[in-house]
Structure 1
Amino acid sequence: MFLLQAGSSVVRKIAITTVVGALSFPLTNLLFDSVATQLAMAVGVGAVILIIQFLVDFEQRLAAVEESQEVQTTEIRVAVDEGFAKVSAATLLFAQLEAAGLKTETVSQLVTQAAAMGPGMAPLLRTFVQGEMVRMTQFLHALGEQEATYDGEDREWLLGLARSAGRTIDAVSMPTVDAGGTEFERGFWGSELGHRYLALQREAVCRGVHVRRIFVIKRPELAEDPGLLATCRYQADLGIEVRVLYPADITDFTKNYLNDFILFDDAVSYEVVPARPLDEEADPLILYTRLVLRPDKLAERKEQYRQFWASAKPHSALYDHKVGDSPQGRRR
């Protein structure tokens, strides 16, 4: 196609040159007597016309090339600007992560692993992965709002916070959350999650974390319950400082705020909200779990724990008899 267009352009230029040369020949008859001179002048005029055509065509082609280069330059500039904008945004995000004390390698690994899944991923798996990423995004957004909520009983938050604690773990253990139908003989502390949680607290104690726990009982006589005593003894052996609290021993104001919560490093309050009141005899049922980061709420929880701890009885005063033969003691 290009050769046909080029050939057509050459034929057109030759035709124009021939016509102009032929038309100029009669004029040379009036100016020159010699036939040779007349022919030379006619050929010269034709040659000039041919050169002019080539110059005009070259100018047009040059303008087209310049226009094309300008368009390409604009497209390249836009692509480069967009690329740098993306790089700048990514660089800014990574800088913010580093300023927050978070490891940027974790985010890089997340993106790399997500990209490595490939286009051949099953639709179900793709939807599941996308849902998990959305869930994590929503969780981080909730932390930015200083309160995150999880419907029902959480697992990963509890274990993750116990694994990450660096100074203190102050916990209130309510029977409506942690005890079974027969108080502390079964329930959370006898479950797989409870054992894993205690193992992480033992590791925390070994690295210098001060761990305290207050067991809240429904009735004063339950302070002598063998299951409760065995649980206290076992946790004390792990290095956890344990006390027992009967709600009547605290003020009415403080009693109204008595619930199951754990303060990790006084920076996060892990709170479990039960579906039943303290005085109801039934198995635990958890409505939701929440993480609270608001400074005013943390200060309130810290003061509540101080009052609870002051009113609670030290665990060492509760068992002066042998508990190793009890079912709870043997299990632990």
Structure 2
Amino acid sequence: MERSISYQNQPQKINTKKKNSFFQEIRKNHLLYLLTLPGILLIFVFAYLPIFGIVIAFQDFRPIEGVFGSPFVGFENFRFFFESTEIFRVIFNTVFLNLMFIFSTMVVSVSIAIIFSEINSKKFKVFTQTIVTLPYFLSWTVVAMIVSIFLPYQGGMVNQILNMFGVESITFYNEAKYWPFFLIVTKIWHAAGFGSIVYLATISGINPEIYESASMDGANRWKKIWHITLPMLKPTIILLMILAMGGIFYGDFGMIYAIVGPNALLYPTTDVIDTYVYRALMELGNISMSSAVGVFQSFVGFILVLTVNQITRKYSPDSALY
């Protein structure tokens, strides 16, 4: 009987120790935790409190009656999207474009970071890094105006170049097949420079003695990049890729709508889930249906993050999120 009592009391002692260690940690580093408080509150207010809005996806939401007064309709709102004849097109476009954005931007960002790490002149490095990073701070509206300078049928810079080589002008705004390439190039130009900052910070943290040892062994610059820099960047690349997978079902609405606009001729290759839902919301005015699609996107993104993280844990445990 005494053994059973001592055995039952053991978890309570462990829990008490955990509680004590938790409060000791808070007491010891209370200033550091106080510094993180604004960030924690920001995440809680803008990331966790809105989760309650998921309930709208399962309601026939009426603004006058509010969340608590609107009737529940179950999964009825999801039928709007899954019974659409365009569902396969918009899902394919969303996934395809996002995959191209993720991998192309990642490759270019890593390349830019490696190039910057190899530049010795500080003034030249600061100047070029500023130029490469600057496009990220331009709004998509401004980017759309820049794109409109290059692509018009008459007077567009691309068509002028084509005419110089004897190629007839192309009506790009009527031809959907060219636009995945234009969107990918625009995304790289806009985001790759800013994305290189993370990789450059990782490269800066590599011990210089490793490169010195490689030089003493006769390794040239390319071998040091291939055998030292890229392997050291591997955990960062995988981590950012895992995080990016969470948004793979979210089309870049700001980019695509600003550049393409309501041009039905380009929908076959540029219409993504977000632009499709936006048009449906403008036409039908049904908030519940758009909320249902948002829940679907979040759920798929959550599953993808878990799946990719599990695969990463199997082949590269040090690079996984958890």
Question: In proportion to residue count, which structure has more helix?
Answer: 2
Bigger relative contact order, structure 1 or 2 (CA pairs below 8 A, ≥6 apart): 2
**TM-score, with structure 2 as normaliser:** 0.22
**TM-score, with structure 1 as normaliser:** 0.22
